[in-house]
Amino acid sequence: MGTSLHDHIKRYVKLTTDEQEILTAHLSEQSIKKKTHLLKEGEICRANYFVVKGCLRAYFINEKGGEQTCQFAIENWWITDYMSFDTQTPSHFFIQAVENTEIVILTKKMQDDLLKKIPALERYFRLLIQRTYAASQLRIKYLFSQSGEERYHHFNESFPEFVQRVPQYMLASYLGFSPEFLSKIRAGKT
């Protein structure tokens, strides 16, 4: 259980055999069907999710009542509502399976216990959060400094396999424009 997670952790920190066993004992795996919600707005986010296979997304409902995707997570990526998870307050987001997805679940209590028992995991999660934050900063820069067409082409060049996996309306929402505009970009009519 959690083999891909163990492999992912090895890329950042080294764990002893005993630490790996402690980690495995704290993890649970689950298969999630497409369109299933792991979190809904107003609920308290009680877990951090590692994607073994599949795709999850975080989104919120904007002022017009539309879904605004703000994050995706594919294989070997984590996803949670960090604010709700950390403070145990109601979430402003939804987390939903985009595809049938296999996840490793790390609850808040389990993560807190693991960080005390395995100090190397503190470094692992710090490095991940730093990289996640850096990626968010770049995304904000692109949203404000590039045209919609430039954002699409940059994303498509960076993550070509990802663009094929995600429904067009979710991708358009993530990139900050309408599905109709994305259709025009793909058709070369912008």
pLDDT digits (tens, 9 = 90+) for 11-70: 999 999 999 999 999 999 999 999 999 999 999 999 999 999 999 999 999 999 999 999
Q: Please determine, for residue 171, whether its predicted confidence score (pLDDT) is greater than 80.
A: yes
State what percent of residues in the chain have pLDDT above 70.
98
The pLDDT value recorded for residue 1 is 46
- Give 65-103 pLDDT, tens digit per residue: 999 999 999 999 999 999 999 999 999 999 999 999 999
For the question of whether the overall pTM of this predicted structure is more than 0.85, the answer is yes
Phi-psi region of 2 (alpha: psi -120 to 50; beta: other; left: phi over 0): left
List, in order, residues 6 or more apart from 154 with CB less than 8 Å away. 142, 146
Superfamily of domain covering 3-144: Jelly Rolls (2.60.120.10)
Find tokens 């400094």 and name the residue.
145
Residue 92 contacts by C-beta under 8 Å, 6 or more apart in sequence?
A: 41, 60, 81, 83, 84
What integer is the mean pLDDT of 128-157? Answer: 92
pLDDT category, 190, cuts 50, 70, 90? low
Let me know: does 162 contact 77? Beta carbons within 8 Å: no
**pLDDT beyond 60 at 156:** yes
Rounded Cα distance between 9 and 58, Å, is 23
pLDDT value of residue 187: 83
For 97: left if phi > 0, alpha if psi spans -120 to 50, otherwise beta; the answer is: beta
Give how far Cα 136 sits from Cα of 60, 108, 114, 127, 174, Å: 16, 23, 26, 14, 12
